[in-house]
Chains A and B, each alone.
Chain A
């Protein structure tokens, strides 16, 4: 459950009493939502895979235009690819 319960949570600027400081639960739920509601098998409007890889590995030069703005929040396929790229990055870092 994501709701912030009570005035205390709002007053303390907590995102939600059930979430952490990284809003982990919120982003997991957002990811699930995109995967469930935004199929895009024809990959319409998707940025190049290299752009998504740069977003994960080397985001300094990635632009909103190259990403097609907030397309990834409306594309299950791009979200899935981001998840894979993140996992690979984690594995690389763990093996160092």
Chain B
């Protein structure tokens, strides 16, 4: 079982590109992530209803924070934590707004009566595999290709220099959509 709350700062930074000439950024970022991760994870869970998106949102926040920190003087861990948390919550709010604009794909008859439907969830049943793959971010694409060409997530994690848990969580959203697509096909046959 993947324990999302136990992800380490290193797990969450596995895809981050820190400037080598400004080592303080990576050091303070790790401390900042350790400081805010539980609160951030909770915010993703309560405001988006989807805790699995928390690592992905944190990666977006880290990327934004690194860009800003590169252009200014060195900052302490508390300031970096504050910046990171602000960017994290900004991304959560953006996704919440974006979810409200999503529309159902497909006609009413395709949605079983009584099935549990999150009103902010795109109905995937009408979306084929191509579209699912199209929406996958580059780092997840690499992880999925590595997994497709071997047998275990631990091997993928070893190639990417991170933990099994981090890789699986990062890929969870894409895997869930692919699984749903394949389930729908099984039910249709």
Chain A residues in contact with chain B, CB under 8 A?
Answer: 1-4, 12-16, 21-24, 26-27, 29-31, 33, 37, 52, 55-56, 59-60, 64, 67, 69-70, 72-74, 82, 85-86
Closest to A89 in B: B150
Q: Which of B101-159 contact A (CB under 8 A)?
A: 129-130, 133, 136, 138, 141-142, 144-153, 159
| B169 proximity list for chain A (CB < 8 A) | 13
Chain B residues in the interface with A (C-beta under 8 A): 1-4, 52, 129-130, 133, 136, 138, 141-142, 144-153, 159, 164, 168-169, 172, 175-176, 178-179, 182-183, 185-186
B178 to chain A, nearest CB (A): 6
- Chain A residues with CB under 8 Å of B182's CB are 2, 26, 29-30, 33
Q: Please, how many angstroms separate the alpha-carbon atoms of A60 and B158 in the complex?
A: 10
Count of CB-CB pairs between chains A and B under 8 Å: 88
CB B57 to nearest CB in A, in angstroms, measures 16
A70 vs B138: C-alpha distance in the bound complex, in angstroms? 10
Kindly provide the distance from the CB of A84 to the nearest chain B CB, expressed in whole angstroms.
Answer: 11
Pick the 7 closest A-B CB pairs, nearest first: A13-B2, A55-B149, A22-B152, A3-B183, A29-B182, A70-B133, A2-B183
Q: Are A21 and B149 in contact (CB under 8 A)?
A: no
CB distance from A44 to the nearest CB of B (A): 15
